Every structure is written in structure tokens, then in C-alpha cells.
Amino acid sequence: MSEQPLKVILTRKLPDEVEQRLSDLFEVTSYNDDKPMPQPALAEAVQSCDVLACTLGDRIDEDLLSLAGPRLKLIANFGAGVDHIDVQAAEARGITVTNTPSVLAEDAADMAMALIMAVPRRLVEGVEALRDGRFTGWSPTWMLGHRVRGKKLGIIGLGRVGQAVARRARAFGLSVHYHNRNRINTHIENELEATYWDSLDQMLSRVDIVSVNCPQTPATYHLLSRRRLELLHKDAYIVNISRGDIIDEEALADMIADKRLAGAGLDVFSKEPAVNAQLMKAPNVVLLPHMASATVESRIDMGDRMLINIKMFADGHKPPDRIIPEML
């Protein structure tokens, strides 16, 4: 690489500590706004930088990459998911793509577990009842939820986050079931006391709570289709902290409205920041604004991981978190 500092363009305002560490090593330009960089500004950025440090809200597609200048050799994503980046188009142009895995797993799993508890126990409904003045004292029949202990949890995607969810779920007395693209290591499976289902359909028909923890890829788009959602029994719950498009959101909203599902806990949506109107009105749905990884510690760790990838690249080495298109 050149002896001159790499020119790094940040497409969104990052924590001050992260930006300072990057600026100590590289020539950094920040968009300095907590909103996605507009597409015209992105087009200018890819023509002039060595490294584009992007975030979830940026659309890095083939059209944008066709405008890239000869300097752009690395897209360093601030986040684990790379469904907003056309990784294959980047590789075809000799541009490496990296992400920030691992550092999000524990915080994301905390949020998944919080939703797994909140929906069956009607926590948000209880808060709203208090605030609306509907609480008139303890009652043996009012605000009854469902016990979590003893229920069957079906985890879709037993990667880092899925495994962290499984560990928490066991502590709460849930039995762990999972469906994965490939069966995990026997040692980990035994540690988690997890039952593997090669057939997602069969797993869905037998579990009480579903936790979506797989990445969004072309293969997982609407993985939970209307047909598959209908395999769940009417007292089942769904929790999603991954990506909105993994679930057929309209089908989910219809089934909850028709009482064919007991409820859902959603941190992500198919048309963010817009949220399905039916889901917004449903009392048995807990909705969060895409905040599963939103801790100070997580954001700093993400920045450090991104910095490591850029530094390794600058030193002429393969970044540790390089995304291989064939693995998506």
C-alpha cells in the first residue's frame, strides 16, 4: 500500500471515540450526520477514497460500485450484516468487503431474550395499562400471560448470536431446538443441549417460540413465508432481531390480527423505518426501533473491529473479517 495515509470516508457519524482512533491512523472524512449518506454523496465518496466505511443504511449496489474510482479497494462495514452491499459486484471489481462480527452477539442475544420474556408475559401491555390508569389493583384473572419455562424454543440460525440466545434460554428453562444451514459441531450441540432439525417445517410445527437469528441473504428472504408461519400453532410467538425481510411481514400481521399466532417481538422491519400499521396496533406485539446491538460498549467494539480490518488492509494483509461471497 502507499506510504501516504489511507483516505477513509465515513458515511455516517460514529461515536467520537471511534472517529478519533480512526483519525489517529488515517485521513478521515466523516459525513457527520446520524442519517444515511445520500446516494449522490455516496457516488462522490466511492470515486475519491481508498476505504469506504459504511453502515446499514447505505445502499452499496452494483450501480454505485460501477462509479468507483481506482483508489477504492476496501468497503469496511460498521456492522455484522452485509445485505445492503453487493459483495459479488465488489469482488468482481477487486474491492474487499469486511464486517464486524462477534462483537454484537452478546448484546443482541440479551435483546432477543428480553423479547422472548416480554411478549408471553405481556410486559409492554402492563406498562401501558399503568400509564393509562387501567390498573385498579391485583386480580387473579387480569393481565394473564404464559409461562416461559418448559416451552420449546426454535432458533433459526445457530451462529454466534443464536448460540448466545440458546445459552440464555437454557437458564430460563426453555428446551432448545434449532435449524441451521449446516449442523453445528457436536460438542457445541451437546453443551447447549440443542436438538437439530434438518427440516425447518418440522421444527416450526413443534415449537412454542421462534427466534430468528440468521443473516439476510437471497436464500433467507421470506424464509418464514405465509405457508411456514401457518405451520406454527396458534399459541406460538415469534421474535426477530435479525432482518425484517426474513419474515413475510404482511402474513405475520394478518395471522396475529386473526389470532392465529399469539404474538411477536420485533426489533427489525421489512421497510424500515416504516412499520406495518397492523403490527403497530396489535396489543400482543412488542416493537423496538432496531436497537438489539445499541449499547455504548457494542458500538465502541464495532469501531475497534472495523479499525483492525482497515489497519490490516493498510499493512498489506488480509483483513480478518473479509466477506467471501461464496459463504453468503
Active-site residue set: 243, 272, 290
Pairwise CA distance, residues 9 & 31, whole Å: 8
Quick one: which of 236, 201, 36 has its CA closest to 120? 236
- Cβ atoms within 10 Å of 280's Cβ, excluding its own: 11
What is the CA angle 161-254-205, rounded to 5? 55
All cell numbers assigned to 115 = 423479547
All cell numbers assigned to 326 = 461464496
**Between the CA atoms of 166, 167, 172 and 173, what dihedral angle is there, to the nearest 10 degrees?**
70
Place of cell 457436536: 186
H or E element that contains 194: strand 194-196
Assess contact for 53 and 11: CB atoms under 8 A: yes
173-210: b (≥16 Cβ within 10 Å) or e: ebbbbbbbeeebeeeebeebebeebeebeebbbbbbbb
Beta bridge partners of 74: 51, 96
- Cβ atoms within 10 Å of 114's Cβ, excluding its own: 19
**Between the CA atoms of 178, 183, 187 and 191, what dihedral angle is there, to the nearest 10 degrees?**
0
Continuous H helices in the chain:
16-25, 39-48, 62-65, 87-92, 105-118, 123-131, 160-171, 186-192, 200-204, 226-229, 249-257, 277-281, 296-314
All cell numbers assigned to 135 = 390498573
All cell numbers assigned to 48 = 475519491
